[in-house]
Each structure stands twice: as C-alpha cells, then as structure tokens.
C-alpha cells in the first residue's frame, strides 16, 4: 500500500485518477485491516461519518448519541480495482443482517452501511445489495443501509492502523469478536484466523 497523505489524496484524487469510497462495517480496526489487503486500494483511513456532531471524538461516537458510525474511507485506483469489487469485498466482511451492530460490538455506531459519493456508486451499491439478497445465501433480511456521503471525520491517531501498532490486542479482540468465525461459516473463508484457531500476527 502506498504511503501518502490522505487529505492530499482526496484533494488531488481526480487529477490523478483516484477515487474515494466509504464503508461502515462495525469496528473500524477490522475494516481498515481488511481493506488494506485489496490490490488497488492505496489508503484506508478510520473515522466517523453519518452523524450531525462536528468533529466528534471517539468517546462521543461510542455514546451512540451523535448519529455517527465507525467507518473507513478508501482512496483507490479504479484502473486496478473496480468499485463493484470493493462492494463485493465489503459484503464478504460484514454481517449485513445485523441491525444492532456488528458481531461483539453493539450499538448504532457499529451498524453497517455503504456511503455513496456519486450516482454511479449509488446505483452500483443498490445493484450489489439486490444481488446479495437474490443469491439466497442469507436467511435473514439485509439491513445494511445505502446512504449519501456527507462528511468524514478522521479518527484519532491511535486508531489508525491499529492492527499494526497493537497486534497482540488486535488479534485477541478480533478472534473473540466472532467476526471471522461468522464469515468462515457464511463464505467458507477466513482472512485473519489460521487453522489452529489463533489469530494471525
């Protein structure tokens, strides 16, 4: 993954051919770690979106009263990875049937959502959601919302790349969250858990 300033990437993205995508998939530590693995994704930033409070802190968002969700914002190169593939990857890494959060994390700040940045993204997101529903893979209704993007607030520095900065705590949290066990059962694959049942370093 390339190392460059996210704000600069946002500002010069159009001229460089880059695009922005924003997803909420529960704990942003996990979502960031997952999307960083995708070829063509240049930068993943943890943050907050979808609420009304200006410049919310982690503690304020955790209260569930600001309307924000934990989310990740991606800078990606559409010549290397299509937005449709990012949507597929998103669905493969969340429980889209959970209205109360994601896995062990409960509360409105952990609900799943896709935030579209333009009409093309909205249409692609709606189509991908319909495909998931029609697939019959899920036994419960898909409750993940598709919403217009408004504003993204970058999370505090200690939350960025948390899996790399605090691998022991992150791996322990991820394993016991039940995320990968659920994904393994639904999709038949696991990204973060090895055959011995331990989270990978």
How many Cβ atoms are within 10 Å of 49's Cβ, its own excluded?
A: 23
State yes or no: is 27 an active-site residue: yes
Tokens coding 52: 């009304």
At a CB cut-off of 8 Å and minimum separation 6, what does 15 contact? none
Sign of the CA dihedral with 101 first, then 188, 36, and 115 last: negative
Sign of the CA dihedral with 79 first, then 80, 83, and 85 last: positive
Instruction: Report how far apart, in Å, the C-alpha atoms of 145 and of each of 15, 79, 107, 113, 122 are.
Output: 30, 27, 15, 5, 11
Burial of 14 (0-12, 13-18, 19+ CB in 10 A): exposed
Considering the candidates 27, 30, 36, 62, report the single residue annotated as catalytic: 27
User: Where do runs of H (alpha helix) occur along the chain?
Assistant: 6-16, 28-35, 58-62, 83-91, 119-135, 162-165, 167-177, 179-187
Give CB contacts under 8 A, 24+ apart, made by 187-194: 187/92, 191/34, 191/37, 191/93, 192/33
Active-site residue set: 27
């Amino acid at each position: 993954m390339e190392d460059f300033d996210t704000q600069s990437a946002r500002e010069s993205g159009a001229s460089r051919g880059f695009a922005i995508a924003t997803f909420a998939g529960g704990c942003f530590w996990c979502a960031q770690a997952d999307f960083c693995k995708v070829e063509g994704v240049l930068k993943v930033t943890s943050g907050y979106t979808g609420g009304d409070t200006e410049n919310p802190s982690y503690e304020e968002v955790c209260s569930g009263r600001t309307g924000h969700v934990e989310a990740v914002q991606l800078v990606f190169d559409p010549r290397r990875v299509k937005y449709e593939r990012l949507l597929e990857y998103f669905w493969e890494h969340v429980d889209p049937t959970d209205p109360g959060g994601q896995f062990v994390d409960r509360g409105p700040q952990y609900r799943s959502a896709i935030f579209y940045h333009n009409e093309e993204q909205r249409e692609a997101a709606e189509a991908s959601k319909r495909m998931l529903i029609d697939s019959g893979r899920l036994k419960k209704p898909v409750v993940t919302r598709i919403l217009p993007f408004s504003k993204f607030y970058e999370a505090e520095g200690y939350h960025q790349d948390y899996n790399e900065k605090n691998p022991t705590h992150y791996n322990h949290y991820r394993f016991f969250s039940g995320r990968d066990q659920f994904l393994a059962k639904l999709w038949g694959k696991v990204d973060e858990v090895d055959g011995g049942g331990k989270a990978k370093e």
